[in-house]
Each structure stands twice: as C-alpha cells, then as structure tokens.
Structure 1
Amino acid sequence: MAARGPLTGGCLCGHIRFEAEGEPGKPHTCSCRMCQRHTGSLTVSWVEFPKDKVTWTGPGGAPATFRSSAMSSRAFCPKCGSSLGAIDDAPVVALVTGVFDKPALVALKPVAHSFKGQRPRWWHVDAGG
C-alpha cells in the first residue's frame, strides 16, 4: 500500500524531526546484536529511504551519529537519546518504524526478518499467557 504525502516522525523530545518522501524501501525487522544494542530491543523494525528523500525538520537539525560499522552510522537524538535509525554511506537513511508519527501504516509493515538466529531462544509469542 502506498504512503500518501511525506511520512513524518521524530524523537521522544521533538528536538529531531523528519519528513520522508516516497515509498519506504526494504521494510524489515532485525535482531542482530548491533540493532539490539542501538535500540535496547531484541528486535527492531526498519524502513529505508534514499538520503535525498529525508529532510530533517526539527529544531535540532540532523541527528547525532555514532560510526557503528565500515558502512554505516547510527542516528540518535543528542538531547533525549532516542534511536532514530542509521545513515549509511550508500546514500540511504534507514529509520526505525517506532519513530514515525503513524507507525501502524501498512507501508511500514515488515516483509522480512534479518538475523533471526540472534534472537534468544525464548523470544516468541506465548499463546498461553
């Protein structure tokens, strides 16, 4: 399902805000250790946009970054610490779906899961409880 108009979102305190134009690409979840440590969650949900389709609109401008690998930097708010995503050297901005103003949009629905084997064995929905 197509996203209509720019998708907007931001950090917990509102210091970092963004608008993302176009269709979100590669909607997926990831359970790698880097994503776990970046977000504090066992699994994170992501979507990607070309770098030139993401505009940082909040009073803080672009997020702070931490170089996390040879090809990417993790993005976060320098005031409240919220994880926002990753800014890759390939001209891509990957945003975690929880920071979108409307995170339940079908356009953000993951279609794949990366590093499923790095989830703890107990990580599953317990139908009994």
Structure 2
Amino acid sequence: MVSKAVHVGGCLCGAIRFQAKGPALKPHTCSCKMCQRHSGSLTAVWVEFPKESVSWNGAGGMPTTYRSSEYSSRAFCPVCGSTLGAIDDEPTIALLVGTFDKTNNKELIPLAHSYKGRRPKWWHVDVQKS
C-alpha cells in the first residue's frame, strides 16, 4: 500500500515551509564530515522524497542553496540560517527529520547509518533493524 501521508515542516523562523507528499524514502542517519558541518551535529537524520513530491510553500519560497558536491546542493533558510536538507541533481530532495513538524512517525525512523566510522568513538547511534 502506497503511503498517502503528507509531511510538513520548515525552518526555525517559519519563512521556509515545505510539504512532502507520499512515503518518506531511505530513512537513515549519516555521520560524514559534510553532514556534520552542514547540520552542526555529529549525526544527521535524513529522509528522501522525489523532487516532484516536495513543494515549498512558505512566504520565503524555496530555500537558499550552497553547492556542496558534484551532485548536490545543501538547502537552508536565508533568514534564520536553519539547515533544511539537500537538493540533488537527480530528482531527489533529502530533508532533515528535525525540520518536520511531527517527528514521531514510523516512516521517519532511520533504518541505516552511513559513515558510522566518522563519528567519535563515544557517540552511539541506534537504528531500527528492518
């Protein structure tokens, strides 16, 4: 059964708001240095959506982006600086789970951890086993 969920969220100041329709794909955590610097956290928690499933509907429109790699740009609010996710060249938008209004949703539970070896040894991340 295909999820008909509508996930909403946005930045700290509310200027950038989004709506993502359908199932949240590839819920995962990442501890790579790029995610650490982008989020300011030792581990980022991501979910992905097809680009056509995400609409930017706040007064600020689309987020500002910074080209972070050959295939992706990091998205953030130009007003408050909140990091929102990544907009890939391929038709994918990855959103940080902390930006969603409701984070207690089974679709948002991470199932994998990328770059686990990049986290400090004292930092532990639990992911659900699928």
Fold equivalence (TM over 0.5): yes
TM-score by length of 1: 0.93
1:9 is matched with: 9
Tell me: CA distance 1:2–1:10, structure 2 relative to 1, closer, same or farther (3 Å).
Answer: farther
Q: For structure 1, which runs of at least 5 residues remain unmatched after alignment?
A: none
> Would the aligned equivalents of 1:2 and 1:107 in 2 still touch at CA under 8 Å?
no
TM-score by length of 2: 0.92
SS at match of 1:66: strand
2:128 is matched with: none
> Would the aligned equivalents of 2:5 and 2:23 in 1 still touch at CA under 8 Å?
no
SS at match of 2:22: coil
1:42 is matched with: 42
1:102 is matched with: 102
Structure 1 residue 123 and structure 2 residue 118: aligned? Answer: no
The Cα offsets for residues 16-41 of structure 1, whole Å up to 9 and x where unpaired, read as 00000000000000000000000000
Structure 1 residue 29 and structure 2 residue 29: aligned? Answer: yes
Would you say how many aligned residue pairs link Structure 1 and Structure 2?
125
Alignment root-mean-square deviation, CA: 1.5
Deviation of 1:122 after TM superposition, in Å, equals: 1.4
Deviation of 1:124 after TM superposition, in Å, equals: 2.8
Extract structure 1 runs of 4+ deviating beyond 3 A: 1-5
Identity of aligned residues (%): 64
Tell me how far apart the structure 2 counterparts of residues 42 and 117 of structure 1 sit (CA, whole Å). Answer: 12
SS at match of 2:28: strand
> Would the aligned equivalents of 2:4 and 2:21 in 1 still touch at CA under 8 Å?
no
Tell me how far apart the structure 1 counterparts of residues 101 and 6 of structure 2 sit (CA, whole Å). Answer: 11
